Structures are given as structure tokens and as C-alpha cells.
Amino acid sequence: MATLEEGKAAVRLARGAVTAYVEKMARIKPEGLPPVFHEKRGVFVTLHEEGALRGCIGYPEPIMPMGLAIVDSAINAASRDPRFPAVRPAELSRIDIEVTILTKPEPYIAPKAELPTLVKIGKDGLIVSKGMFSGLLLPQVAPEYNMDPMEFLSQTSLKAGLPPDAWIDEDTEVLHFQAQIFSEVAPGRDVIEKTFADISRGTC
């Protein structure tokens, strides 16, 4: 688990990466950070502009040091999310930044039919994969949209481009993970660790 100070450093790093790239097309280096930033972690960086989702990209798997993953995800969220145009410099003062730090995704050890009894709403995020198709929903999505476990599994399947009941197929992989969410209370302002009761805006 990351501490609040580490979470604040993560969000500051993400803002620095977004600002440098949007204003100067420069990529900053994650330097002078606590040891946890050298550990391989999955992360997502989410941008909101005046309450609306403005970009969200990340790495569900721990494939690179957390500091590098945050910088890369922040730049991609600002410039390469296919749902949105690239962030412009004039928008930076209206955008607040959120960093989600993930645990390593793991499979449920149970028959597929039992998954609705095992998914913990507000705690588990899901990854549903089958062949070349894969979809991820962060833990905060289910409580934000009042999903029950069955709907959460179905919506993650749909996110993967699969039928809503694909999660129950034996050749479909369902992984779960947990997350900590650190977010600016306003653009460039203080950073808090969010609980799921705090979530009321669009997420990945």
C-alpha cells in the first residue's frame, strides 16, 4: 500500500509529466522519488476537466517501474486517449489529475459460475480477456454506476468487445485487482486519497 505522501508525489509527477508534454512536447524523468516508485506497479492516470472525464490511460500489469509508468500514462492520457482530442495548454488550469495504483491482477480460484459471489464491489477491479479481446474496469466504476457483481462482470466483458455473458465461458480469463486512488481536490491543489464514497465522476 502506498502512503499518502507517496500518493501526493505520484500525482505531482503525473501533473509535471502532463504539463511538460502539453506545453513543450518534453518527457520528464522520474527522479528523486521514494523507493516505491522504482517498484513495478500497474497504474492509471485519469484527467478530469470541470468534472468531466478528459482522458484515462494506464498499465494494468506491473511491467515497468511505477515512476516510468506514471509519466507514460499521464502523457498518453493527455495526448493519445482515442476518445478525446489532445489536451491543449489553455486547458491545463481546468484539469485535475488522479492516479490509481494497482495491485497485481490475479485470477479467481473458483468455478466461473461462482464469480458473482466473489466479486467485491468497491474493492475489486476486473480484467476480462478472451483471445485478442481484453477489457478493464477500475474498482471505482462499479459503485459509481451502482453495479452489482453480475453487472460489473457483464460490463467488463462488453468493455472487452465481448458478449455480456462472456465472463462465464471457460476459455475466458477473469482477473481481479485492488487499487488506491490519489486525486487533486482541484486543478493543481492538494491531493487526497479517495474512498469509493467520494466518487461521482466519469472514470476509465
- CA 59/CA 105 separation, integer angstroms: 11
Q: What is the pTM of this model?
A: 0.82
Helix (H) or strand (E) holding 55: strand 52-59
The pLDDT of residue 132 is above 60: yes
All domains of the chain in start order, with CATH = 4-103+179-198 (3.30.700.20), 106-177 (3.30.1490.150)
Q: pLDDT tens across 51-87, in order? A: 899 999 999 889 999 999 999 999 999 999 999 999 9
115 touches 183 (CB < 8 A): no
Q: pLDDT tens across 11-42, in order? A: 999 999 999 999 999 999 999 999 999 999 99
- CA 70/CA 99 separation, integer angstroms: 8
Q: How far is CA 145 from the centre of its chain?
A: 16
User: In the numeric block, which cell numbers belong to residue 60?
Assistant: 494494468
